[in-house]
Chains A and B, each alone.
Chain A
Amino acid sequence: MATTKGDERLRMSRRSFLKGMGVGAATSTALATGLVKPRAGKAAVPPLVEGLSYVPVELKINGRRYALTIEARRTLADVLRTELNLTGTKIGCDRAECGACTVIVDGRAMYGCSLLAVNVQGREIETIEGLAKNGRLHPLQEAFIEYDAYQCGFCTPGQILAGKAFLDKKKSPTLAEVKQALSGNICRCGAYHHIFEAVLAAAKKL
């Protein structure tokens, strides 16, 4: 159901390949990867169940506009992952407790799992996919690699975005301030020490 304005080439990702393996999922794969382009803002697929509340939604993510028709009840994290294939945003607890779904909305870190997609229209949304510019990683991403600031990596996009929203506003923070800024993000591997070091190191480069 999703489409992007502009010229986006279809690329086969691991995820869309896996999704394509199921015959029933073939249509949704084509829609999600941009093969089929419904007109922006129009309900391309009528609701399958009577009474469901479908709404046209236009989102601005990483500087690119996306138009889609979704149910009002769908969260931003869910829409990013399943409609737009922006799977860098992770869903951990899905109840505003772990921070894996952290995205930046109008410059502030927020939990994507607890925002409704319909409610973030017209706002600037940044996800982990938008951080690298012209093939170059963001200094925070480089610092995470340099300082080995993860083990399994599941919380990493959320940690980096919480760190980015913080460093965009705060120059030369202290360790205590970094800890406070990242307190809404849980790392079950316990890589906190390295994460804080990475954010402090990136702060010096920004």
Chain B
Amino acid sequence: MQSFTWINAKSIEEVKGALAKHGKKARIFAGGGDLTTLMKERIDTPEFVVNIGDVKDIHYIREEKDGLHIGAMTILADLAEHEAVLGRYTALAEAAGAVASPQLRNMGSIGGNLCQRPRCWYYRGAFHCYKKGGDFCFAVTGDNRYYHSILKGELCYMVHPSDTAVALLALDARITIAGPQKEKTVKAEDFFIGPRQDVLRENILQPAELITEIVVPTPPANTRSTFLKTRIRGSWDFALASVAVRCTAKNGVCQAARLALGGVAPVPLRVERAERALAGKKITRELSQQAAQLATAGARPMTMNRYKVDLTRSLVEKALLAVA
């Protein structure tokens, strides 16, 4: 690990000040799970590391009138076990509980989980790929069986590694960003960006910005949600494919649905075509199969990950039948 200066910020103002001063030379340290590994491998070599773990006012889970408010530094294990989250925002609790291992869920924060870097083994290895400023994606001609995309891949064929992001998309969450300008709030689906927009990053955050809060709106009555994930290793791993669905139904008839996929594209992917196919219809096995087909329509699997298309479809089907 390259040496760095440790800045232990105590308030958001201090974090913003440090980020504004050091710009691209600084990184935010939340739980540290991803950043320490990136620094050990020298994939990232910041000169300043700004710790936000001691910033008091970003550790909270509060249920308010408009919904669930989560401080960016909230620990994933707390989110996975929180009664209100389990009850009304089930997909989020399930996604937080499906992240990595118990130890990492005790360390990792929701904000950090959303800002993870790719798990592509060429990015993590000694390959000068697009993500590192190179001009090649080694996964295209190389081994692309696990952490590479079947949808929306271009230039870089990574898949976004965050589980909670997929749940947040399905739950229509908003992300609050602080920085040198006025605080702003964006939809979860607008937070993430694909390689065509900027191949060097996975979200809209500028070097001097950070996530401060996530707000999940109160779901309408008769709404259920769930998150399902498949991984190569049962005990813990990143998703080969995952799906989060939120469905408002009356007497088995779907009134509105939101559906998002993980592990299949460079961004957590909302699939509105499939959502529209569900509205106003009784959710049956046939309908969920149709929605699953629509969710993966236009898939362009790579040389070794064609199986992900079927895997994703079966997850979508299973998730829809679970919440119907």
Contact = CB atoms under 8 A, between A and B. Distances in A.
A30 interface: no
Contacts, number: 82
A149 B284 CA distance: 48
A183 B216 CA distance: 29
Given A183-B102, A184-B102, A95 B37 contact: yes
B236 A184 contact: yes
A53 B104 CA distance: 27
Contacts of A96: 33, 36-37, 100, 103-104
A114 B3 contact: no
B77 interface: yes
Interface string B19-56: 00000000001001100110111000000010101000
B323 interface: no
A181 interface: yes
Contacts of A184: 100-104, 235-236
A182 B6 CA distance: 32
B29 to A, nearest CB: 7
B4 interface: yes
B192 to A, nearest CB: 23
B321 interface: no
A155 interface: no
Q: Is the interface of B mostly helix, strand, loop or mixed?
A: mixed
A169 to B, nearest CB: 10
Interface in A38-72: 51-53, 55, 71-72
Contacts of B32: 114-116, 119
A202 interface: no
A110 B3 contact: no
Contact of A73 (B39, B77, B100): B39
Interface string A108-119: 111101111011
B82 to A, nearest CB: 15
Contact of A94 (B8, B40, B49, B100): B40
Interface in B82-125: 100-104, 106-107
B2 interface: yes
A37 to B, nearest CB: 25
Given A73-B1, A73-B4, A109 B40 contact: no
A127 interface: no
B236 A183 contact: yes
Given A53-B4, A55-B6, A114 B102 contact: no
B104 A111 contact: yes
B53 A119 contact: yes
A28 B3 CA distance: 21
A183 B2 CA distance: 31
A113 B101 CA distance: 14
Contacts of B236: 183-184
Nearest to A121: B8
Contact of A72 (B5, B77, B106): B5
A162 interface: yes
A81 B249 CA distance: 56
Contacts of A156: none
B101 A183 contact: yes
Contacts of B40: 94-95
Given A73-B1, A94-B40, A96-B37, A118 B6 contact: yes
A180 interface: yes
A52 B3 contact: yes
B49 A72 contact: yes
Contacts of B5: 53, 72
Contacts of B104: 96, 111, 114, 184
A109 B77 CA distance: 11
Contacts of B3: 51-53, 71-73
Contacts of B6: 53, 55, 72, 116, 118
9 contacts: A72-B4, A73-B3, A96-B104, A99-B103, A114-B33, A116-B32, A119-B29, A183-B236, A184-B102
Given A115-B107, A118-B8, A162-B103, 12 more contacts: A72-B6, A73-B2, A95-B37, A95-B40, A96-B36, A99-B101, A99-B103, A109-B106, A111-B33, A118-B6, A166-B102, A184-B235
In order of increasing CB-CB distance, the 3 nearest A-B pairs are: A184-B101, A72-B6, A108-B106
